[in-house]
Structure 1
Amino acid sequence: MNYEFKGKRAIVTGASSGIGKGIAMRFAKMGVKVILAARRQLELEEVAAEIRSHGGTAIVAPCDVTNPEDVARVVQTAVDELGGVDIMVNCAGIAGPMTFEDTPPERFRQHMDVNYFGAVEFVRNVLPLMKEQGSGYIVNISSITGLKGLPTYTSYGASKFAITGFSDSLRHEVKKYGIKVSVVAPPGVHTPMVDDDLESHPDWFHKFKVIEVDQVLNKMISGMRKGRFLILVSADSKLMYAMLRFFPRAFTALFMWLYKMEK
């Protein structure tokens, strides 16, 4: 298959910065009309202005993904302003590595509320629209930590495992309606969320290359064109996933060794 982007209508969450902003701007350059959803309206307005300055269509929709009423309002905005939704990208997220013992209970809930339940709520709202039109594409941004449990990511990683598993189950359920699902699993990416908090990441994190947002976008677009479910965006990610599949014990031993080296 070769998925065609031009003329599509998309909602992108987390669109005020980082990967979400990059996705929205890349989509707009490809002729996609985008709804920009995130909490920070000022930053969304700046992204929208940049898109419009290049002739693209962007509509600002401030949103807290943990608020079901906000989510429903964003989707209704897409219906009212664009006539529907062809692509749903769930990119809103919070990170913050921490050992289990150092992670307060409310942090676990925050990770799940934003990284997982926010995406689920958006899918719940767009799915009836996609079913009715007989097509659609749902893209959920996960992480390499959503494929393999890694030290200091008990909270963040659990939320990403949830979104990966949700996406895997969902794709089988919605295929008969002409709806595709992809999950993107990047490693560390140079975004404000990561760069502003680099010191909190474990030493082993810095042994792997932190990639640029453009690399994520290139691989995501290529993967969507081909209809791939799991989209890995770097050589490190592909190597890690291959080791996980074919040499799981060696993979686990490697990370345990790296983790012990920090102590």
Structure 2
Amino acid sequence: MSYFTNKTVYITGAASGIGFETAKQLIQQGSNLVLFDVQPLDDVVSTLQTMNKHNALIAGYDLDVTDAAMTTTQIAAAAHEQAPDILMHFVGITGPWTFDEMSQEQFERVMNINVFGTRNVLAAVRPFLSRGKQVMVTASMSSFTGSYGYSSYSASKFAVWGMMQSLSFEWKPLGIDITVFAPPPIDTPLTQSEVGVMSKAGVGMKKLAGELKIENAVKSMLKGVEKREFLVVPGVMANLIRLQLRFFPVKWVNWIGNTTVALSMKK
């Protein structure tokens, strides 16, 4: 028996990346899984069923988080069948373009998915959350520090961080615990999509935080949820950067970033 055994976990963005890896680790612990994604989930459900040694529930729902009405309808339909104990929200996209190269449409798409999509999911699941329930939302190290080529992504993740801090103040007295997962780069289809798009300077700054294996990052996140921690930052380098942001002057942090950009551009 683990902490997650017999708990019903809603996972958004479950078709790939961190969401899919989380589903794989949880099904082995006997969690009931309710999966949501805009991508088809048939293959994901089939894969999870082969790992389902506890005969847990596995259900899948189509979901576009930018559609508030659809999000409300789909989560309500899922809750009618099986109410959530924990929501784990992973839907998000990057925006690996410099500000000067980015169109308004690209900027708005990042904000719509990462910020408004998160809001839509939280609003839809809120009627089904009561004392003892939990919410885990994926932020990023970019929630705390900007990076070259990440003006849209950092703006969205700063917003998610602020939203979740505020919601923690509102929901904690009601017995609903929030965890914010703020990892450094993880080897997922999301980060792989940046290859050949992000500039050398952006790649150089990302390397400062190091890249984690997806299995280890998810294990750290699940431990944080089990302990009901508010913030989970996996990885040694990511935590060093987090401490640096807390204790060093902004001009020092910016000097490191500017130096990294300059050196990257010379390569």
Fold similarity call, TM over 0.5: yes
- The answer as to 2:190 corresponding to 1:200 is no
Partners of 1:186 and 1:208 in 2: CA distance:
9
Structure 1 residue 115, shift from structure 2 partner: 0.8
- The answer as to 2:264 corresponding to 1:262 is yes
Please tell me whether the aligned partners of residues 92 and 115 of structure 1 are also in contact (alpha carbons under 8 angstroms): yes
Question: Normalising to structure 1: TM-score of the pair?
Answer: 0.92
Partners of 1:142 and 1:89 in 2: CA distance:
12
Give secondary structure in 2 for the equivalent of 1:200: coil
Give secondary structure in 2 for the equivalent of 1:199: coil
Give secondary structure in 1 for the equivalent of 2:184: coil
- Two-structure CA RMSD over aligned residues (Å): 1.6
Structure 1 residue 216, shift from structure 2 partner: 1.2
Equivalent position to 1:160, from 157, 162, 171: 157
Distance 1:47 1:248, change over 3 A: farther
Partners of 2:120 and 2:163 in 1: CA distance:
12
Q: Which residue of 2 aligns with 1:215?
A: 216
- The answer as to 2:186 corresponding to 1:189 is yes
Structure 1 portions without partners, runs of 5+: none
Q: Which residue of 2 aligns with 1:240?
A: 241
Q: Which residue of 1 aligns with 2:57?
A: 57
Q: Which residue of 1 aligns with 2:73?
A: 73
Write the letter of the residue equivalent to 1:123.
Answer: L
- The answer as to 2:97 corresponding to 1:95 is no
Partners of 2:77 and 2:49 in 1: CA distance:
18
Q: Which residue of 1 aligns with 2:128?
A: 129
- Same amino acid, percent of matched pairs: 27
Structure 1: 4+ residue segments shifted above 3 A: none
Give secondary structure in 2 for the equivalent of 1:12: strand
Structure 1 residue 207, shift from structure 2 partner: 4.8
Write the letter of the residue equivalent to 1:13.
Answer: T
Q: Which residue of 2 aligns with 1:120?
A: 119
Question: Normalising to structure 2: TM-score of the pair?
Answer: 0.91
Write the letter of the residue equivalent to 1:61.
Answer: Y
Structure 1 residue 158, shift from structure 2 partner: 0.6
Write the letter of the residue equivalent to 2:203.
Answer: D
Structure 1 residue 34, shift from structure 2 partner: 1.2
Please tell me whether the aligned partners of residues 14 and 90 of structure 1 are also in contact (alpha carbons under 8 angstroms): yes
Partners of 1:208 and 1:192 in 2: CA distance:
18
* Number of residue-to-residue matches in the alignment: 256
Structure 1 residue 46, shift from structure 2 partner: 1.1
Structure 1 residue 80, shift from structure 2 partner: 2.4
The range that moved more, 194-203 or 108-117, is 194-203
Structure 2 portions without partners, runs of 5+: none
The range that moved more, 232-241 or 46-55, is 46-55
Residues 15-70 of structure 1: CA deviation (Å, up to 9, x unaligned): 100011111222222222111111111xx111111112222421110111101122
Please tell me whether the aligned partners of residues 12 and 37 of structure 1 are also in contact (alpha carbons under 8 angstroms): yes
The range that moved more, 201-210 or 112-121, is 201-210
Please tell me whether the aligned partners of residues 10 and 34 of structure 1 are also in contact (alpha carbons under 8 angstroms): yes
